[in-house]
């Protein structure tokens, strides 16, 4: 009898967990969250939300006249080459420092197996 009670308890908990998990399949859950969809809080169904904005309902084409102008503060070829050279030198210094640390902190060799 105790076993059947425990089984019913597990079934009730499992059913509740399944109910909450399946509640996550609703598109309303995406807009209001799990608690909002269960208790009815959150925005009205027709209110614009980020999720509804991504659904493809907004099919208006953008106005191409609103595209910003081309950037004017682009570095020159000489400046980019100077930056690349500085980065290469910094990378070489970092590799040399890493090699020096590896030499300083070499791992101890594994001792041979004892005979016997």
pLDDT of residue 109: 86
Output 18 or 1, whichever has higher pLDDT.
18
pLDDT exceeds 70 at position 65: yes
pLDDT of residue 41: 62
pLDDT of residue 83: 96
Whether the CB-CB separation of 52 and 37 falls below 8 Å is answered with no
What would the DSSP string read from start to end of 26-72?
Answer: SHHHHHHHHHHHHHT-SS-TTS--HHHHTTT---PPP-GGGSPPPPS
Question: Residue 29: exposed, middle, or buried by beta-carbon count in 10 A (0-12, 13-18, 19+)?
Answer: middle
Helix or strand (DSSP H, E) at 106: none
pLDDT of residue 107: 84
Neighbours of 32 (CB within 10 A): 20
3-state DSSP call for residue 108?
Answer: coil
pLDDT of residue 100: 95
Output 83 or 25, whichever has higher pLDDT.
83
DSSP character for 17? H
Residue 38's pLDDT band (boundaries 50, 70, 90)?
A: low
pLDDT of residue 22: 60
């Amino acid at each position: 009898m105790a076993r059947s009670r425990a089984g019913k308890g597990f079934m009730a908990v499992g059913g509740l967990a399944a109910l909450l998990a399946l509640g996550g399949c609703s598109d309303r859950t995406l807009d209001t969250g799990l608690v909002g969809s269960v208790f009815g809080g959150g925005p009205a169904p027709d209110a614009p939300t980020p999720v509804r904005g991504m659904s493809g309902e907004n099919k208006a084409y953008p106005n191409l006249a609103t595209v910003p102008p081309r950037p004017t503060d682009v570095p020159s070829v000489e400046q980019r080459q100077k930056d690349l050279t500085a980065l290469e030198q910094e990378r070489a210094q970092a590799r040399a420092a890493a090699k020096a640390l590896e030499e300083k902190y070499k791992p101890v060799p594994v001792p041979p197996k004892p005979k016997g």
